[in-house]
Amino acid sequence: MEFDKPPLSFEQQLDRLIERGMRVTDRPRALAYLRHINYYRLGTYWWSFIGDHNTHQFKSDTSFESVLNLYVFDRELRLLLLDAIERVEVSLRTQWAYHVAKEGGSHAHLNKELFNAKDFAHDSFLDNLLSEINRTSDRNIKKQAQKYQEATPAIWIISEVMSFGWLSRCYGNLKRRRIRMDIAQVYDLNEAVLASFLHHLTTAGNICAHHARLWNRDFTFRMKLPHNGPDYLIQSLNAHSPRELYNTLVMLAFLLDKISPEHSWKSRLKALIDNHDIDTAPMGFPEHWQQLPMWQ
């Protein structure tokens, strides 16, 4: 089957939406958005407003503004998620470097015996690390590399330049479970749960960084949910929606409670949902979620 759809002008794109039942009360405003937000990108949001997918007809109450509201909500949600991920990432870099250095010294990361040989490509890790060091614009790191004759700078320095993906793998593939447990206990989590969540966060972070749709997304990787731990965490998770965003938000809120007890992230999330009047069910939120302990 050959693709035979012709390109449409911005005017034609808007006319097609109107023909399919979308209400447009301010045509110049709608055209202005279509000129700067790809029709296909917006289409991933208005898909949920379609009543008949064979004819592509919208539900009777669908307006351009309602689709735009969902789009803006998702953009702000991605920024909020990135804010939380940044704080978790900075904390984990600190804990990983601290505990691994305590075990194996300032350059413990160079010792491949520290990692699971079967699942961790240590040579690829070092190659990637050297690329990041050579590419960095951080003057302090460049001075460090010039000052000492060493394969790489110390672990507390390289932990700041390695990607979050490699950081996640470096934690999950530490051969000694005791080190993983020592780090996980900082967050009051099981080490396998933390490793799984960090793996999941690399995907969530990439989605946000590439401006992809986060709302109503089903994640392909199914992270492990904790079965033991603080009651307010366990009671607030939704085991019936393991691939939706809600559990990601619960875990981030829990970690922020540990990392920054006076944070306002949870209240900002609730305000964002309320301000845009968002149906949270497509994101895996349980009914009456705001009454659960995490969100009190």
Instruction: pLDDT band for 3, please (50, 70, 90 cuts).
Output: confident
Same domain, 162 and 230: yes
Residue 132 is predicted with a pLDDT of: 87
Q: Is residue 283 part of a domain?
A: yes
Same domain, 138 and 36: no
| 185-225: pLDDT as tens digits | 999 999 999 999 999 999 999 999 999 999 999 999 999 99
Same domain, 50 and 146: no
| 39-59: pLDDT as tens digits | 999 999 999 999 998 999 999
Q: Is residue 6 part of a domain?
A: no
Residue 145, pLDDT above cutoff 80: no
Residue 168, pLDDT above cutoff 80: yes
| Bigger pLDDT: 227 vs 150 | 227
Same domain, 95 and 166: yes
Q: Is residue 32 part of a domain?
A: yes
Same domain, 38 and 155: no
Task: Out of 62, 80, 98, pick the residue that ends a domain.
Answer: 62
Task: Out of 24, 40, 62, pick the residue that ends a domain.
Answer: 62
| 266-277: pLDDT as tens digits | 999 999 999 999
Residue 5 is predicted with a pLDDT of: 83
Give me the percent of the chain exceeding a pLDDT of 70: 100
Q: Is residue 231 part of a domain?
A: yes
Residue 148, pLDDT above cutoff 90: no
Identify the domain containing residue 138 by its residue range.
71-295
Q: Is residue 4 part of a domain?
A: no
Predicted model pTM: 0.94
Residue 144, pLDDT above cutoff 80: no
Residue 265 is predicted with a pLDDT of: 98
Least trusted range by pLDDT, from 23-37, 72-86, 148-162: 148-162
Residue 252, pLDDT above cutoff 90: yes
Instruction: pLDDT band for 86, please (50, 70, 90 cuts).
Output: very high
Same domain, 33 and 76: no
Q: Is residue 153 part of a domain?
A: yes
Instruction: Choose among 49, 39, 76: nearest CA to 271.
Output: 76
Same domain, 126 and 242: yes
| 123-137: pLDDT as tens digits | 999 999 988 888 888
Same domain, 27 and 138: no
Locate 247 and state its tokens: 């559990």
Give me the percent of the chain exceeding a pLDDT of 90: 87
Residue 35 is predicted with a pLDDT of: 97
Q: Is residue 19 part of a domain?
A: yes
Same domain, 57 and 89: no
| Bigger pLDDT: 109 vs 143 | 109
Same domain, 76 and 189: yes
Q: Is residue 3 part of a domain?
A: no
Q: How far apart are CA 22 and CA 14, in angstroms?
A: 9
Count: domains in the chain: 2
Residue 119 is predicted with a pLDDT of: 87
Same domain, 50 and 76: no
Same domain, 209 and 266: yes
Residue 266 is predicted with a pLDDT of: 98
